[in-house]
């Protein structure tokens, strides 16, 4: 099971958990005053990730790539949970994100590493 399959599973799990815990009427961080902070932070994390992928990872052979993706997914989802906690003020939003992170890390540990 590759890392892309785990990412797809995490996206599906996130949607299912969101509908179970929050319902269909989900608020987004982009609908609050934290829109620019969230987009800037996510953009910086994505740029750093792309930079690492194209500069560091090709020179390192072996199984370092799953470790990078595990760390990158962890940082990105922890950032999202922190932004949800600050701007949405509902405890169910970051819990959904953290449960998705936990299930994703378990899938990575079992099937990728």
Confidence at residue 75, expressed as pLDDT on a 0 to 100 scale:
92
Range list of H helices, the chain: 3-21, 35-55, 64-87, 92-107
Per-residue pLDDT of the chain (113 residues; tens, 9 = 90+): 577 788 888 888 888 888 888 877 878 888 888 889 989 999 999 999 888 877 776 665 655 677 777 888 899 999 999 998 988 888 888 888 898 889 888 888 887 77
Confidence at residue 44, expressed as pLDDT on a 0 to 100 scale:
94
What does the alpha-carbon distance between residue 89 and residue 106 come to, in Å, rounded to a whole number? 28
């Amino acid at each position: 099971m590759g890392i892309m399959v785990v990412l797809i599973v995490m996206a599906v799990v996130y949607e299912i958990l969101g509908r179970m815990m929050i319902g269909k009427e989900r608020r987004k961080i982009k609908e609050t005053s934290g829109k620019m902070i969230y987009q800037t932070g996510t953009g910086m994390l994505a740029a750093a990730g792309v930079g690492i992928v194209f500069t560091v990872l090709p020179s390192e052979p072996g199984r370092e790539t799953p470790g990078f993706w595990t760390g990158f997914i962890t940082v990105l989802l922890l950032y999202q949970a922190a932004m949800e906690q600050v701007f949405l003020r509902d405890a169910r939003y970051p819990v959904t994100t953290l449960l998705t992170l936990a299930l994703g890390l378990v899938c990575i540990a079992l099937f990728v590493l």
